[in-house]
């Protein structure tokens, strides 16, 4: 998997967990859900988010590495 796919997976898991925590434990958890949403929005414009840097340091490859060379 690539950085982008891991990023979407982690964001989805975090949103799901924090929504459940907000519903079952305490509504303040929805603030964390909002933080994840804001981070995803800014990432769409800047193409950078802290989790991407973490994933790259862990050795996850970028999508550009998946492009196969084309024969001309």
Let me know if residue 11 belongs to a domain.
yes
Let me know if residue 13 belongs to a domain.
yes
Let me know if residue 66 belongs to a domain.
no
- pLDDT band of 12, cuts 50, 70, 90: very high
Reported as a single tens digit per residue, the pLDDT across 16-68 is 999 999 999 999 999 999 999 999 999 999 988 899 999 999 999 998 765 55
Query: What is the tally of structural domains in the chain?
Result: 1
- Structural domain including 29 reads 3-60
**Mind giving me the DSSP string for the chain?**
-BHHHHHHHHHHHHHHHHHHHHHHT-TTHHHHHHHHHHHHHHHHHHS--HHHHHHHHTTPBPGGGGPPPPP-
Let me know if residue 22 belongs to a domain.
yes
Let me know if residue 20 belongs to a domain.
yes
């Amino acid at each position: 998997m690539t950085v982008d796919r891991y990023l979407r997976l982690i964001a989805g898991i975090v949103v799901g967990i924090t929504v459940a925590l907000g519903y079952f434990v305490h509504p303040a958890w929805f603030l964390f859900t909002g933080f994840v949403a804001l981070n995803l929005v800014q990432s769409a414009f800047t193409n950078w988010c802290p989790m991407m840097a973490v994933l790259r340091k862990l050795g996850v490859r970028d999508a550009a590495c998946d492009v196969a060379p084309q024969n001309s």
